[in-house]
Structure 1
Amino acid sequence: MNQAFELNELDKQMPNIFAQCDTLYFDFGENNELDQKLFTWIKQLKKQNRIGKRVPEKLHFLAPIVAQMRLYKDSIEKSLMREAGRISVLAHKTAMKYAQQHNHEAQVTAKLEYTMHQHGSERTAFGSIVASGANTCTLHYRENNQSYNNNVLMLIDAGAEYQGYASDITTTFPTGGVFNEEQKAIYQAVLNTHNAVLEQCKPGADFDSLHALSCRQICIELRKLGILQGEVEDLITNKAYQRYYMHRIGHWIGCDVHDVGNYHDGNAWLPLQKDMALTVEPGIYIFPNKDLDEKWWDIGVRIEDSILITEKGYENLTPGLPRTVEEIESFLAT
């Protein structure tokens, strides 16, 4: 910065600074008080036109320009996101083991977030979700205040922030160390969907095509289990999956966990390109339903990774977690 002024000089100095500019970039609509100040300063300049002061000829909305820049991660940003991912993975793995030794969501939350801070994270990237049993079916469960027993699933959706960059991971695992048959079946269905979507994460794909793929795969999986009935195409057309999968496949990630940036340019979905970062997070959530066998009730599974688009595919920014049924059970047994 070439100059600095006392804050009480703001109204005096800003018109002078504006008078030196042809173009003004501003984040309109974010702060009503600042919006009013901006137009007051411009009005002051217009009154001084006769003494040679000029008004910026162009006003540009700043947010879309910055958002477009933030879509693409440079080498330093990628390094910071990898470190945020590393810390997050370590915290998730620690929490998975800790959950077997305790019986309250708050205890697991404390261990999870302590581990993040212990390894260099300044703060969590968002409010951690630590949900057990029926709570796994609530998408944005934040209470984290229930006790649980050792035969339910636990869903942890949490990420560390590291030097201003976010990570976002969801793990789902059995608190008793072993999946029962229904838990295993739903977990495998989500994992199959997660893997199918990851295979298509490459330049040229877009969020809509990835989401459509996830909806199709979930319909296929739930039909195999008898939870949905009918032809796959009809299930997709009728959006039968929405009863069990009610959110999108993912979001941009970077300086914010739900980072800025358009998904659609007004005419078409924005194609993924090298150095864009996003999450992939399919899920299945089964609330009590009189039309469905009770054995499926209160099973919620989500699997999420943060990824970076590369020249030909993707890089997982959150590697190292046990993901298959066998890997999870083996990890929890050690």
Structure 2
Amino acid sequence: MDYTPFRQRRLSLLEHIAKAGGGIAIIPTAPERVRNRDTAFPYRADSYFHYLSGFPEPDAVLVLIAGRGDDAPRSIVFCRDKDLDKEIWDGFRFGPDGARETFGFDAAHSFKDFEAQLPDLLTDQPALWYSLGHDAAWDARITAALNAVRVQTRNGKRPPAAIHDVRAVLDRMRLLKDDSEIALMKQAAAIACAAHRRALAFAAPGKYEYEVEAEFLHEFRRRGSQFPAYPPIVASGANACVLHYVDNNRQMRDGDLLLIDAGCELDGYASDITRTFPVNGRFSGPQADVYDLVLDAQSAAIAALKPGATFHDPHDAAVRVLAQGMIDMKLLEGSVDGVIESESYKRYYMHRTSHWLGLDVHDAGEYKTGDEWVALKPGMVLTIEPGCYIRPGDDVPQAFWNIGVRIEDDALVTAGGCEVLTSKAPKTIAGIEQLMKRTHG
């Protein structure tokens, strides 16, 4: 892996801190989490820490010091010691020397020495940049070190005069993906598309949702993904009307639609795709009506996705199409403007059309600045995922009962509009039925 982008991000953050008056930033990674007894969950680094370091091990913290005067800015990592005996049990460790050489830090020390060195690191710094309130154990470490500096004020030592939330700066940085991030996200999207095609070929009446989930997990890992980006949603029949359904234990029946919301993670970066299709390979008339409505809404949202538009514009475009369709299908009454103003459409479409995507599946970054929606810029990546979920009701035409459809793609904002990264997962009715016919006969 090329670690140059991580170093460039550290320098960008240091430059921001220097322009704000200087100071020190402390960014710890995530701790290991116990699953049960002596078994830990598979480890994943904290997203902010990974964004700046690329360092994959637990028990690590990144310290960035903005230079003052003739002092150059510095990046320091504290990490686990090299331990050949423990490597026999748990695998390779970089150790401080390996971390410095491999990841391009200016210095590296043992994690065991961090708390002892922290008061000296904080002393006489203009400001501390830290994610206060994110982790209670780390807050306690930082507070203890600050208090240790404060008791030395009679000796001329001073603690940082201000504490800033480093996440606010990093969130703005993370909104705009660099070339290395975009390349990883395209790979993650390609893996997820292959998994969705595999699911289309596999799903059939009589099989269980978890069998389809297993096909996804197999394809993710086979193609190099380390993890699912989130628990896969494999929802058939009425389960498709449960937005975050993850039990995945129902036996699929002839005539069901199957909604699959599943993406993978590759080297920390997520993909996020939803497809909905009939398990028997053929859409019924009402299913096709709802599906085409959602697909039209997604097309309108994608058309609205371009530089200069706001984050909210694709949602507005999708809602207008959905509202008209709901009226046409006798699900709602009134005018399009009236349905939107009253928000009666939320009975069948209750979530937003987009979220940021990156190191986290719901990635860092604000959607609004004050009362203004964020303007879209090249390099931003977001999902486009309208849906329609129709539960039974006395005023709902029975032909539409328990039809749940969501269609989701990942889109990169470009100078000329957007690039859909997940287009290789079939989503037209003709494309879905043709693929299922080839595999199911």
CA distance in 1, matches of 2:198, 2:111: 47
Higher relative contact order (CA 8 A, sep 6+): 1
Distance 1:21 1:290 in 2: 66
Q: Which residue of 1 aligns with 2:164?
A: 60
Equivalent runs, 1:1-334 vs 2, <5 Å: 1-19=105-123, 21-100=125-204, 103-334=207-438
Q: C-alpha separation between the residues in 1 aligned to 2:311 and 2:107?
A: 44
Q: Percent identity?
A: 38
Alpha-carbon shift at residue 207 of structure 1 (Å): 2.7
Contact 2:411 2:419 in 1 (8 A): yes
Question: Bigger CA drift: 21-30 or 270-279?
Answer: 21-30
1:307-327 residue CA offsets vs partner (Å, 9 max, x unmatched): 110012001111212221111
TM superposition shift of 1:44: 1.8
Q: Give the residue type in structure 2 aligned to 1:188.
A: D
Question: Which secondary structure does the structure 1 equivalent of 2:204 belong to?
Answer: helix
User: Alignment partner of 1:307: what SS?
Assistant: strand
State the 1:234 CA deviation: 1.2
Q: Secondary structure at the match of 1:207?
A: coil
Structure 2 distance, partners of 1:278, 1:65, is 19
Q: CA deviation at 1:8?
A: 4.1
Amino acid paired to 2:231: G
CA distance in 2, matches of 1:4, 1:76: 25
Question: Alpha-carbon deviation of 1:101?
Answer: 7.0
- 1:277-323 per-position Cα deviation (integer Å, ceiling 9, x unaligned): 00000000000111122111010000000111001200111121222
Q: Give the C-alpha shift of residue 215 in structure 1.
A: 1.5
Q: Is the 8 A contact 1:207 1:249 kept in 2?
A: no
Q: Tell me by how many angstroms 1:33 deviates.
A: 2.8
Please report how far the alpha carbon of residue 46 of structure 1 lies from its aligned counterpart in structure 2 after TM superposition. 2.3
1:5-55 deviations in whole A, cap 9, x for unaligned? Answer: 444433321001112633311001112232233222122212223434232
> Equivalents in 2 of 1:303, 1:272: separation in Å?
22
Residues 304 and 317 in structure 2, CA contact (< 8 A), matched pair in contact too: no
SS in 2 for 1:157: strand
User: Does the residue aligned with 1:290 lie in a helix, a strand or coil?
Assistant: coil
Amino acid at match of 1:49: T
The 3-state SS of whatever aligns with 1:100 is coil
Q: TM-score normalised to the size of structure 1?
A: 0.96
The letter for the 2-side match of 1:73 is: K
List per-residue Cα deviations over 1:167-222 (Å, max 9, x = no partner): 00000001111100000000000000000010000012223232222221101111
Whole-Å Cα distance in 2 between the matches of residues 191 and 171 of structure 1? 11
Aligned partners of 2:205 and 2:253 also within 8 Å: no
Contact 2:236 2:257 in 1 (8 A): yes
Amino acid paired to 1:17:
L
Report how many aligned residue pairs link the two structures: 334
2 CA distance for matches of 1:257 and 1:34? 24
Q: Are the aligned partners of 1:166 and 1:254 in contact in 2 as well (CA < 8 Å)?
A: yes
Per-residue CA deviation, residues 70-123 of structure 1 (Å, 9 max, x unaligned), is: 100000000000000000000001011100275110110101111111111001
User: Which runs of 5 or more structure 2 residues have no equivalent in the other structure?
Assistant: 1-104
- Spell out, residue by residue over 1:234-255, the C-alpha distance to the aligned partner (whole angstroms, 9 max, x if none): 1111111111001111100000
Give the secondary structure class of the aligned counterpart of 1:53. coil
